[in-house]
Amino acid sequence: MALKATIFRAELAVSDLDRGHFGTHALTIARHPSETDERMMVRLLAFALNADERLAFGRGLSSEGEADLCLTDLTGAIDLWIDVGLPDEREIRKACGRAARVAVYAYGTGAGLWWKQNAASLEKLANLSVTELPVDASRALARRAARTMKLQCTIQDGHVWFSDATESLAVEPLMRKAAG
């Protein structure tokens, strides 16, 4: 018998001064049994950084060839494809062919090495942006994971403040590659 996903609910208030997006999003996040709290919370952070009414979580780890988050236009065309973690370079190339924009949020102790190994081929992809999250920040986000969360995220000048009722966390993403 297959294990079922664990359901998390988050009320995420986003104040993105860089993009001029302000809103509260009621999110339901299905965490695959093999997914860590850290990965799930990085997906939530990626949502906050790209918040939009049409941005939706994908089916996650159980579905190969599918985005972790996806923003489609009214015709169903993929405007933004988001992957978190250290995706295979071939999968990123495929995503760049399918979507107008692709964003990768790399995290974990191997993120720097992953970028070093893939930078030359990824630099050629004009519609790709790659952001690396500091290890201490992604681990601190993981400690905030709860079945029900009420979170605030403020983004200004590329700096991110993520907070809940008890504490605030400053995240300084490292932009490895900006889309052209």
58 in a structural domain: yes
Structural domain boundaries enclosing 16: 7-177
pLDDT (0 to 100) of residue 65: 74
Q: What percent of the chain has pLDDT over 90?
A: 88
pTM, two decimal places: 0.94
Instruction: State how many domains the chain has.
Output: 1
Mention every residue, 6+ apart, whose C-beta is less than 8 A from residue 85.
39, 42, 68, 105, 106, 107, 108
pLDDT score recorded for residue 135 = 97
- Cβ–Cβ contacts within 10 Å for residue 126, how many? 9
Q: 1 lies in a domain? A: no
Residue 2 placed within a domain: no
d(CA 112, CA 143): 22
- Find the CATH number of the domain harbouring 109: 3.10.640.10
> Helix or strand or coil: residue 38?
helix
Phi, psi of 114 (to 5 degrees): -55, -45
pLDDT digit string, tens, across residues 47-80: 999 999 999 998 765 557 789 999 999 999 999 9
Position 120 in a domain: yes
- In this prediction, residue 3 carries a pLDDT of 76
C-alpha atoms less than 13 angstroms from C-alpha of 142 in its C-beta half-sphere: 14
- The verdict on residue 125 lying in a domain is yes
Task: Identify the residue whose tokens are 């400690």.
Answer: 143
Q: Model confidence over 109-143: pLDDT tens digits?
A: 999 999 999 999 999 999 999 999 999 999 999 99
Q: Would 133 be classed as within a structural domain?
A: yes
Would you say how long the chain is, in residues? 180
Measured CA to CA, the distance from residue 107 to residue 138 in angstroms comes to 7
Q: Which of 120, 104, 99 is nearest to 173 (CA)?
A: 104
Domain-located, residue 55: yes
